[in-house]
């Protein structure tokens, strides 16, 4: 594989800087007017990270100071036992200074006193805190968990007072617009902890909660504008920390959604850039080709790799240059900060494969070293199981120096497979056989149990629409989700048959009915007909899964599908659960003789969902469009 370069001819930074008009038109640079406006907006001194802790595994700390003209200063640290100022670094912008500190294990919590000498003398206090000591504070995820994924702006409005925050780019709430803010917040989620628990979920993953102060489509959170601030329309940093603590008190874990690859174009570090090489910049807008295959293509070109890895995700999402050591450290420290500050349990990493290969390994190593119990899974919206496994911990040798240390991934390959199983007739590799062949490739992973299974999410069409609003197929999908290997994730509203397709974008991100005062329907409390049947099905099976370790932690053995019927078993020393999925529309009689190795010692079974006794394990009839979950009995 070719060694990757920055493609100087493509980047052409000299041309970019030489043409101020081109910069202004493209929106990729900083005009004097923007610099002046930013200086007015932030006249004081800011330090990132906002504060730090004693006793961290890595004693080194990089503090980025931002203040007008601060680069003309010389920093001095008043004597503080166990802390040394190793040096300072000036950047291209006169408004930044990097302080490099060492915090020894002997250091105590307190205030570091800095003096910045220069044309204008400044003093600054930087806080060192004691680390959180609660037992099991960062819990991580296991296969016993079920994740409930919400878009916080669209789930529930618990505090109307924070709907509009003075000074932000969006000055109104407009629930009739799919791209406007709707008012959901942290309190809204917390108000429905009981609902989430009733459903059988044990963890909550929300789309990014950090500030996303963009003028358009800021509701989704994936264009961060301040890495150290909870979006005030969701709540304050303190409220977020309390939200995590409250969730833990209710037996719920918290998954924070993070973006390593890009920020929003109104991020203060983009408006007033520390240096040009903090972002990938081009003479004209250069969008990513979104072709993850370029990451590890042995025949690939440098051009394709650089477009994938360094091209922008969108016009308002500048690509962050993680090959810059200062940038890499800034990002890593930021996500260490959020874990220590809140005690959250897991990170879901957006657009994982788009980041710099070396940086991804550095990030994973730093997180695991500091928080061994922290779970992480990355979005790997890729094609092919081998390509997906490449981005997780796997058995493959390093490729071009990259060896993933990411524990798990969002299992798009399994999502593709279950959709195909429920929308296509069975063929040699098609239809229900797609699940079999996808699972057969689990040998590629170090531990496929750490992958996150899902039927739908905020980027793809809702599951109920994909399967033609067929309740029988819906139950099959839910049964697969909750009895297969891995950690299941349920997208908000799937349990009450919310529907729509991803095109037009936004329709899969509609408000949860009942999350706002005055809603005509309230699915939190009142569900009728098919919605009630769907919710009850999810809740019953999810809670069964939670209380029966054999289903979530037992081994998986499956048998090659025959005549459209796929049979698999979850088993351990305590028992065995059998699942039979009949993807055809007609009832099938199944000769059970070939399952003898798993049926040995069992004489009957009980249908988990209905309680009906299955007395004959020699030959069974499986209704069409059914996933039959049976607890075997001796």
pLDDT, tens only, 167-188 = 999 999 999 999 999 999 999 9
Helix (H), strand (E) counts: the chain: 20, 26
Domain boundary among 129, 151, 166: 129
Compute the residue count for the chain. Answer: 634
Question: Does the pLDDT at position 3 exceed 80?
Answer: no
Q: Which of 517, 524, 511 lies closest to 158, judged by CA? A: 517
Question: Does the pLDDT at position 11 exceed 80?
Answer: no
Q: What is the pLDDT of residues 204-226, one digit of tens each?
A: 999 999 999 999 999 999 999 99
Q: How far apart are the first and last CA of the chain?
A: 56
Tell me, yes or no, whether 195 lies in a domain: no
SS3 579: strand
Residues 99 and 46: beta-carbon distance below 8 Å: no
Residues 486 and 411: beta-carbon distance below 8 Å: yes
- Give the domain CATH number at 594: 2.60.40.1180
Domain boundary among 129, 152, 186: 129
Question: Does the pLDDT at position 7 exceed 60?
Answer: no
Residues 244 and 343: beta-carbon distance below 8 Å: yes
DSSP single-letter state for residue 315: T
Tell me, yes or no, whether 566 lies in a domain: yes
Give me 546's structure tokens.
């939670």
SS3 228: strand
Q: What percent of the chain has pLDDT over 90?
A: 91
* Cα–Cα distance for residue pair 581/477, rounded to 1 Å: 10
pLDDT class of 30 with cuts at 50, 70, 90: very low
Q: What is the pLDDT of residues 85-127, one digit of tens each?
A: 999 999 999 999 999 999 999 999 999 999 998 777 899 999 9
Question: Does the pLDDT at position 133 exceed 90?
Answer: no
User: Which pTM was predicted?
Assistant: 0.93
* Cα–Cα distance for residue pair 592/605, rounded to 1 Å: 13
Tell me, yes or no, whether 203 lies in a domain: no
SS3 348: strand
Helical (H) or strand (E) element with 378: strand 375-378
Question: Does the pLDDT at position 13 exceed 60?
Answer: no
Question: Does the pLDDT at position 12 exceed 90?
Answer: no
Question: Does the pLDDT at position 592 exceed 70?
Answer: yes
Q: What is the mean pLDDT of residues 547-568?
A: 98
pLDDT at 17: 32
pLDDT at 504: 77
pLDDT class of 44 with cuts at 50, 70, 90: confident
As for how many domains the chain has, the answer is: 2
Tell me, yes or no, whether 151 lies in a domain: no
What domain range includes position 84? Answer: 55-129
Give me 34's structure tokens.
């923007």
pLDDT at 503: 87
Tell me, yes or no, whether 284 lies in a domain: no
Return phi, psi of residue 42, to 5°.
-130, 70
* Cα–Cα distance for residue pair 583/207, rounded to 1 Å: 33
Tell me, yes or no, whether 425 lies in a domain: no
pLDDT at 386: 97
* Cα–Cα distance for residue pair 227/391, rounded to 1 Å: 25
Q: What is the mean pLDDT of residues 239-268?
A: 98
Residues 128 and 110: beta-carbon distance below 8 Å: yes
Domain boundary among 113, 129, 145: 129
Tell me, yes or no, whether 623 lies in a domain: yes
Tell me, yes or no, whether 276 lies in a domain: no
Residues 483 and 631: beta-carbon distance below 8 Å: no
DSSP of 156-171: --S-GGGSS-TTSS--
Q: What is the pLDDT of residues 489-532, one digit of tens each?
A: 999 999 999 999 998 778 999 999 999 999 999 999 999 999 99
Q: Which residues of 558-572 are buried (b: 16+ CB within 10 A; e: fewer)?
A: bbebeebbbbbbbbe
Q: What is the pLDDT of residues 357-377, one digit of tens each?
A: 999 999 999 999 999 999 999
- Give the domain CATH number at 66: 2.60.40.10
Q: What is the mean pLDDT of residues 271-275?
A: 98
Q: Taking the alpha carbons of 445, 448, 451, 453 in that order, is the dihedral positive or negative?
A: positive
User: Active-site residues: which are they?
Assistant: 350, 379
pLDDT class of 65 with cuts at 50, 70, 90: very high
């Amino acid at each position: 594989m070719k060694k990757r370069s920055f493609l100087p001819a493509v980047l052409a930074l000299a041309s970019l800087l030489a043409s101020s008009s081109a910069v202004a038109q493209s929106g990729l640079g900083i005009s004097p007017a923007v610099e002046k406006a930013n200086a007015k907006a932030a006249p004081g001194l800011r330090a990132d990270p906002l504060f730090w802790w004693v006793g961290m595994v890595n004693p080194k700390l990089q503090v980025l100071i931002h203040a007008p003209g601060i680069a003309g200063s010389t920093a001095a640290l008043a004597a503080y036992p166990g802390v040394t100022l190793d040096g300072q670094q000036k950047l291209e912008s006169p408004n930044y200074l990097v302080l490099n500190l060492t915090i020894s294990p002997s250091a105590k919590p307190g205030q570091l006193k800095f003096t910045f000498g220069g044309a204008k003398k400044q003093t600054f206090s930087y806080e060192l805190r004691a680390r959180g000591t609660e037992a099991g504070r960062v819990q991580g995820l296991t296969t016993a968990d079920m994740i409930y994924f919400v878009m916080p702006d669209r789930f529930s409005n618990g505090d109307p007072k924070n709907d509009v925050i003075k000074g932000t780019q969006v000055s109104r709430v407009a629930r009739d617009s799919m791209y406007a803010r709707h008012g959901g917040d942290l309190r809204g989620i917390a108000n429905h902890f009981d609902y989430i628990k009733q459903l059988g979920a044990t963890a909550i993953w929300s789309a990014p909660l950090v500030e996303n102060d963009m003028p358009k489509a800021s509701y989704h959170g994936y264009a961060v504008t301040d890495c150290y601030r909870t979006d005030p329309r969701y709540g304050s940093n303190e409220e977020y920390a309390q939200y995590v603590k409250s969730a833990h008190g209710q037996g719920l874990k918290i998954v924070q959604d993070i973006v390593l690859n890009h920020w929003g174009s109104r991020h203060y570090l983009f408006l007033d850039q520390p240096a040009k090489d903090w972002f990938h910049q081009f003479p004209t807008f250069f969008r990513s080709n979104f072709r993850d295959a370029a990451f590890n293509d042995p025949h690939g070109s440098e051009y394709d790799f650089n477009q994938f890895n360094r091209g922008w995700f969108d016009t308002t999402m500048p690509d962050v240059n993680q090959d810059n050591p200062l940038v890499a450290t800034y990002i890593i420290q930021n996500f260490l900060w959020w874990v220590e500050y809140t005690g959250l349990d897991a990170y879901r990493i957006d657009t994982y494969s788009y980041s710099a290969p070396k940086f991804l390994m550095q990030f994973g190593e730093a997180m695991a070293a500091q928080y061994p119990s922290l779970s992480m899974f990355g979005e790997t919206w890729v094609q092919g199981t081998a390509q997906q496994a490449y981005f997780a911990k796997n058995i493959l040798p390093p490729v071009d120096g990259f060896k993933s240390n990411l524990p798990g991934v969002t299992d798009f390959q399994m999502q593709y497979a279950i959709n195909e199983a429920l929308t296509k007739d069975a063929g040699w590799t098609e239809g229900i056989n797609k699940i079999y062949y996808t699972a057969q490739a689990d040998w590629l992973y170090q531990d496929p149990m750490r992958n996150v299974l899902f039927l739908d999410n905020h980027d793809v069409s809702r599951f109920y629409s994909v399967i033609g609003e067929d309740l029988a197929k819906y139950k099959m999908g839910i049964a697969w989700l909750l009895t297969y290997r891995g950690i299941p994730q349920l997208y908000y509203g799937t349990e009450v048959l919310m529907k729509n397709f991803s095109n037009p974008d936004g329709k899969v991100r509609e408000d949860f009915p009942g999350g706002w005062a005055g809603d005509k329907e309230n699915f939190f409390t009142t569900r009728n007909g098919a919605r009630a049947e769907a919710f009850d099905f999810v809740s019953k099976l999810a809670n069964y899964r939670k209380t029966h370790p054999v289903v979530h932690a037992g081994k998986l053995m499956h048998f090659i599908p025959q005549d459209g019927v796929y049979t698999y078993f979850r088993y351990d020393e305590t028992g065995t659960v059998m699942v039979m999925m009949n993807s055809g529309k007609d009832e099938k009689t199944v000769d059970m003789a070939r399952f003898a190795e798993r049926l040995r010692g069992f004489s009957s079974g009980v249908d988990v969902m209905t309680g009906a006794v299955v007395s004959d394990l020699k030959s069974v009839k499986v209704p069409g469009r059914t996933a039959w979950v049976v607890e075997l009995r001796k």
